[in-house]
């Protein structure tokens, strides 16, 4: 069984001004002693406009913190006003990019086919996709959440080789738990994350399935992270609101690394 290093990624969404963004990165990096970075990978996903400065900061201070973006175009270049390509993200040293976040699916009408193209674009340029999926409340209430999530998984990874899938990060984010303060129970998170891994094994083999990191996202905080990452198939978290507060985020990362608090 592969050893999966937990990943805690902070999705800042459309928040903070430029100076606040730089200050947040500095504070997180200096609040978390180096030993934690060996146990847990920590990444921030700021808005596009902050990435260049964060790159300079991380390179200059040799920070162990990784960074990435929240979306990318399915195309490499061309007449796509307002879009940012995987080529550009790779040049900026992005390690990760979220793809298929439920807010992109809802507000930008991204369907599974678009998400699939974006996952491929990220892989093509060596930026690891954090491929997001998850059910709405009505789907869960109808008891169809596992099927819904495994269907999204299959569609988003369509056409990829097993070797390519090995490097994808999957994030299970039930839509009803995002920004609502209603965290899924650790058993709920484990149920879906385990089902996603079973589906990965079916499609790409046990070896790949045991290597892929599956994160949970939705109202994750320092108060619930330990219980979530204690689940067998939960390999970290995609954190929204709690990633905007340096003390809270550092605490959350330290707890994911098994503590003690810095």
Ligand X SMILES: O=C(CO)COP(=O)(O)O
Q: How many CA atoms lie within 13 A of 25 on its CB side?
A: 32
Q: What is the DSSP letter of 93?
A: T
The residues pairing with 236 across neighbouring beta strands, listed in sequence order, are 7
Residue 215 binds to ligand X (criterion: CB under 6 A): no
SS3 58: helix
Q: State the residue number with the nearest CB to ligand X.
A: 240
Q: What ranges make up the beta strands (E) of 126-255? A: 128-133, 169-172, 213-217, 236-239
Active site residue 173: yes
**Alpha carbon 262 to chain centroid, angstroms:** 24
Establish whether 176 is an annotated binding residue.
Answer: no
Establish whether 68 is an annotated binding residue.
Answer: no
Establish whether 11 is an annotated binding residue.
Answer: yes
- SS percent in the chain: helix, strand, coil, step 5: 50, 15, 35
Residue among 6, 46, 174, 217 that touches ligand X (CB under 6 A): 217
Give the contacts of 214 (CB within 8 A, at least 6 positions apart): 169, 170, 171, 172, 193, 196, 197, 233, 234, 235
Residue among 6, 7, 8, 11 that touches ligand X (CB under 6 A): 11
Q: Which of 41, 101, 103, 191 is catalytic?
A: 101
Active site residue 163: no
Residue 238 binds to ligand X (criterion: CB under 6 A): yes
Cβ proximity of 154 and 128 under 8 Å: no
Handedness of CA 120, 113, 99, 230 (dihedral sign): negative
Query: Of 144-152, 162-170, 223-231, 239-247, which segment contacts ligand X by CB under 6 A?
Result: 239-247
Closest to ligand X by CB, 129 or 204:
129
Q: Which of 41, 110, 135, 173 is catalytic?
A: 173
CB of 10 to ligand X, least distance (A): 8
Q: Token digits for 167?
A: 């490097």
Q: Token digits for 138?
A: 């009505």
Residue among 100, 129, 134, 241 that touches ligand X (CB under 6 A): 241
Q: Which of residues 83-102 bind ligand X (CB under 6 A)?
A: 101
Q: Which of residues 178-197 bind ligand X (CB under 6 A)?
A: 178-179
Residue among 29, 196, 239, 246 that touches ligand X (CB under 6 A): 239
Residue 224 binds to ligand X (criterion: CB under 6 A): no
Site string for ligand X, 242-261 (x = CB under 6 A): x-------------------
Residue 174 binds to ligand X (criterion: CB under 6 A): no
Phi, psi (rounded to 5 degrees) for 171: -125, 115
Feature table: binding site = 11-13, 179, 219, 240-241
Active-site amino acid positions: 101, 173
Binding footprint of ligand X on the chain (CB under 6 A):
11, 101, 173, 178-179, 217-220, 238-242
């Amino acid at each position: 069984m592969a050893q999966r290093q937990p990943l805690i990624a902070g999705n800042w969404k459309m928040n903070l001004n430029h100076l606040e963004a730089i200050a947040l990165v500095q504070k997180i990096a200096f609040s978390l002693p180096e030993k934690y970075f060996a146990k847990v990978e920590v990444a921030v996903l700021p808005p596009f406009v902050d990435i260049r400065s964060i790159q300079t900061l991380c390179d200059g201070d040799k920070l162990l913190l990784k960074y990435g973006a929240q979306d990318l175009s399915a195309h490499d270049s061309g007449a796509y006003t307002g879009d940012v390509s995987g080529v550009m993200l790779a040049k900026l040293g992005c390690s990760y990019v979220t793809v298929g976040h439920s807010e992109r699916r809802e507000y930008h009408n991204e369907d599974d086919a678009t998400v699939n193209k974006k996952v491929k674009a990220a892989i093509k340029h060596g930026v690891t996709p954090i491929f997001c999926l998850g059910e709405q409340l009505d789907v869960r209430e109808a008891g169809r959440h596992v099927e819904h999530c495994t269907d999204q998984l299959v569609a988003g990874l369509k056409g990829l080789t097993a070797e390519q899938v090995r490097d994808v990060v999957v994030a299970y984010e039930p839509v009803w738990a995002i920004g609502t303060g209603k965290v899924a129970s650790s058993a709920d998170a484990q149920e879906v994350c385990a089902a996603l891994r079973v589906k990965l094994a079916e499609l790409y083999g046990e070896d790949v399935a045991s290597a892929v990191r599956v994160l949970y996202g939705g109202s994750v905080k320092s108060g619930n992270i330990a219980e979530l990452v204690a689940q067998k198939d939960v390999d970290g978290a995609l954190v929204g609101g709690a990633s905007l507060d340096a003390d809270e985020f550092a605490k959350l990362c330290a707890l994911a690394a098994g503590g003690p608090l810095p």
